[in-house]
Amino acid sequence: MQMAYITALYGLMKEDLRVCSLLSDSGTDYDMMMARDFPDRCFNFGISEQHKVGAASGMAARGKVPFVYTTGAFLAYRAYEFIRDDICFQKRNVKLMGMGMGMGLGCWSTLGCSHHSTEDIAALRALPNLTLLCASTPRQLTHMVRAAYEQDGPVYLRLGMSGEPEFYDEGYQFQIGRNDTLLEGTDFTVFTTGTILAEVHPAVLKLREEGYSIKLVDVSTIKPLDTAGILEAAAGKKQVFTVEGHAVAGGLGGAVAEVLAGHGGAPLRRIGLEDRFAEGYGKTRQVRRANGLDAEGIYRQIKQSL
């Protein structure tokens, strides 16, 4: 996903002289390439995320379009007050890119929960004026970067860092505020968001092979939530599930529960982290497995309810 992001941002920087890149020692070859080609629009703030977000607000006030890119745990948590007061309250046209969503920091997941972003949706979706996007695949991310650029106002985009597989074809079109349906089904619906789709998709396919008719929906926009799409996907189903690499309280599970409340219909089961931090150390797949959120663990939890 890093390559997809840098490629999309590079194209925007060639196209629009207002677009700037704000980094925190990410140090990839792509960053150096952009610094070489756009030396007056690339800024490395080091491990000073609060300062970087504040500076981005100032840049936006002067007509620039800053893209702030760093580890999601440090952006969403460490700089939260600055996102709230300097970006959202001021309605600044700043694009915040939090990499390594959930337990998805690739090899850096060995650093444990201090580097995980498993509560950021709950914190960020409460902020007024903020559009919150969650990329599941590289192609979807490419479309989201363009959509974030075209959106006037604050945008936070969660992206992965673990070699995520692609589930969307070349004809895919992303739209802010609209869910994406990957598989159709009549009896059950599974809602998911973000890079854990790489685990959810094979789990759902295995259940479908066993005869369960399951609809799989990718909630790519957390805010504004596709309320009508959620209600439509849940209508007439025997049971509805949410699966996320995030806390179920305030996360996708909380958001879907809020939509379904008062509408009756199918019971909801939320699968994710239940009032705890992720356990274990290792690469993304290893940490997901340790927390029952790999493909096999997700399959077992859904199958138990079915």
Residue 228: give its domain's CATH number. 3.40.50.920
Alpha-helical segments (H) within 62-188: 72-73, 80-82, 120-124, 138-150
Return d(Cα 289, Cα 280) in angstroms, integer: 9
Crossing angle for the helix pair 252-260 and 227-234, nearest 10 degrees? Answer: 80
Both 125 and 219 in one domain: the answer is no
Query: Distance between CA atoms of 145 and 2, rounded to whole angstroms?
Result: 12
Q: Answer yes or no: is 174 within a domain.
A: no
> What pLDDT is recorded for position 28?
63
Residue 30 has pLDDT above 70, yes or no: no
Residue 167 maps to a domain? no
Q: How far apart are CA 60 and CA 63, in angstroms?
A: 5
With respect to residue 238, please indicate whether it lies within any of the assigned structural domains. yes
Residue 195 lies in a domain: yes
**Residue 112, pLDDT score:** 82
Give domain status of residue 168, yes or no.
no
* Domain at 37, CATH number: 3.40.50.970
Q: Domain range for residue 220?
A: 180-305
Mean pLDDT (whole number) for 223-235: 96
Residue 161, pLDDT above cutoff 70: yes
Average of pLDDT values for 45-61?
94
Let me know whether 141 and 205 are in one domain. Answer: no
pLDDT at 230: 96
The answer, yes or no, to whether residue 256 has pLDDT greater than 60, is yes
* 48 and 140 fall within a common domain: yes
Q: Are residues 146 and 207 in the same domain?
A: no
Q: Are residues 189 and 293 in the same domain?
A: yes
Are 50 and 70 a contacting pair, CB within 8 Å? Answer: no
Q: How far apart are CA 187 and CA 155, in angstroms?
A: 35
Structure tokens of 164? Answer: 């995520």
Residues 189 and 250 in one domain: yes
164 is a domain residue: no
183 vs 204: CA distance, rounded Å:
9
Return the SS3 of 274: coil
Structure tokens at 89: 């309250």
Q: Largest Cα–Cα distance in the chain?
A: 58
Cα dist. 17→39, 41, 95 in Å?
12, 8, 16
**Number of domains within the chain:** 2
280 falls in which pLDDT band (50, 70, 90)?
A: confident
The backbone region for 209, taken as left when phi is positive above 0, alpha when psi lies in -120 to 50, beta otherwise, is alpha
pLDDT > 60? residue 109 = no
Q: What is the pLDDT of residues 182-227, one digit of tens each?
A: 999 999 999 999 999 999 999 999 999 999 999 999 999 999 999 9
Q: Is the pLDDT of residue 2 over 80?
A: yes
Same domain, 101 and 194: no
Domain check: are 125 and 232 in the same one? no
Asked whether residue 116 falls in the same domain as residue 204, the answer is no
Pair 148, 229 in one domain: no
Does 290 lie in the same domain as 212?
yes
Structure-token pair, residue 243: 């699966």
Position 186 in a domain: yes
Q: What is the pLDDT averaged over residues 151-179?
A: 94
List Cα–Cα distances, 25 to 29, 44, 78, 87, in angstroms.
Answer: 12, 6, 16, 22
Which of 159, 194, 216 marks a domain boundary? 159
Residue 172 belongs to some domain of the structure:
no
Tell me what pLDDT residue 84 has: 97
Tell whether 152 and 188 lie within a shared domain.
Answer: no
Q: Which of 105, 127, 159 is the last residue of a domain?
A: 159
CA gap 299, 202 in Å, rounded: 8
**Tally of CB atoms within 10 A around 19:** 20
Return d(Cα 298, Cα 301) in angstroms, integer: 5
Token pair of 234 as six digits? 């849940």
The CB density around residue 195, as the number of other CB atoms within 10 Å, is 30
Do the beta carbons of residue 169 and residue 144 sit within 8 Å?
A: no
